[in-house]
Amino acid sequence: MPYGDRRPYVVADSLTELRGPTSGTVVLPRHLDWSGSADHNLDRPARLASMYRTVLVEAATEDDLRAWLDGVLLVGLWRAMWLPARLRGLWENRFPELARCVGSAQGGGDRGGGGGDKGGD
């Protein structure tokens, strides 16, 4: 069984309690982003999406989600983010509004788009 199918993921209880930063530059703590490039300029769409994906995949607690994600931004980014299928499914089961996002993965599969930072945007 692939690791992504066994990995524990955290899902928020409510999108409205996600009130993390929405602009400026943030530095994620090492337990969330150990890549060496933990600085994320949230005013750059590619870095914003990259940070959200990192937090969704690496969060160990709901406090991580509440501290670093914003519910409104998450809904806006949802359909464009590449996410592991199981993680996407867990969030869409808890929050049907995410599954209804235009263009959201119907099979819950992994998708490209918006998740990486190639240095230009």
* Domain residue spans of the chain: 3-9+23-99
Residue pLDDT, tens place only, 26-66: 999 999 987 777 789 999 999 999 999 999 999 999 999 99
List the one residue out of 24, 108, 30 whose CA is nearest residue 64.
30
Q: How far apart are CA 60 and CA 39, in angstroms?
A: 19
- Per-residue pLDDT, 33: 87
Sign of CA dihedral 109, 115, 120, 121: positive
